[in-house]
Amino acid sequence: MADQFSFDVVSEVNMQELKNALDQATKEIKQRFDFKDSKTEILLKEKEKELVVVSDDEYKLNAVQDIIKAKCVKRGVSLKAFEHGVVEPALSGTVRQTAMIQSGLASEKAKEITKSIKESRMKVQAQIQGEQVRILSKSKDELQTAIAFLKGMDFGVDLQFTNYR
């Protein structure tokens, strides 16, 4: 039997589910009457981890954002994964908004998670390993308690618990 058990705390987006949600949103936009003859476009830049939405005006842009949010929720993609930028003017009288897609835990969020684990006085150890936090303990019950504790906290990012051993 192992003397140490562990799990990793990560923040990732399932890109395939995000693509499916954006495809559904695009299909709905093409079918809706209020978007007829509009220059609405949804672009996913996977390499840069960006989502770019272009539309005729700010009102239609907000409507597109609402459609995207609804489709993401249905597909299980967390809305905390998006960091929306400002609405800026684009070519030929349209407006554009860029949203950064969260991938990995930022170092300040990882430090915040480890600090809250240490302050909770649980019998677990937290280590920052790149863009994830590893939680170690001798007891699986303590790890379950740590997962429940982290689910109850709000760090402003979507957390997943992987690699449970």
Domain pair 5-12+104-162 / 15-101, same fold: yes
| pTM more than 0.85 | no
- Its CATH class, for the domain covering 15-101, is alpha beta
Q: What pLDDT score was predicted for residue 2?
A: 57
Residue spans per domain, the chain: 5-12+104-162, 15-101
In the chain, which stretches have pLDDT less than 70?
Answer: 1-2
Q: What pLDDT score was predicted for residue 12?
A: 85
Q: Thinking of the domain 5-12+104-162, which architecture would CATH place it in? A: 2-Layer Sandwich (3.30)
Return contacts of 123-132, CB within 8 angstroms, 24+ apart. 129/8, 130/104, 131/10, 131/11, 131/103, 131/104, 131/105, 131/106, 132/8, 132/9, 132/10, 132/104, 132/105
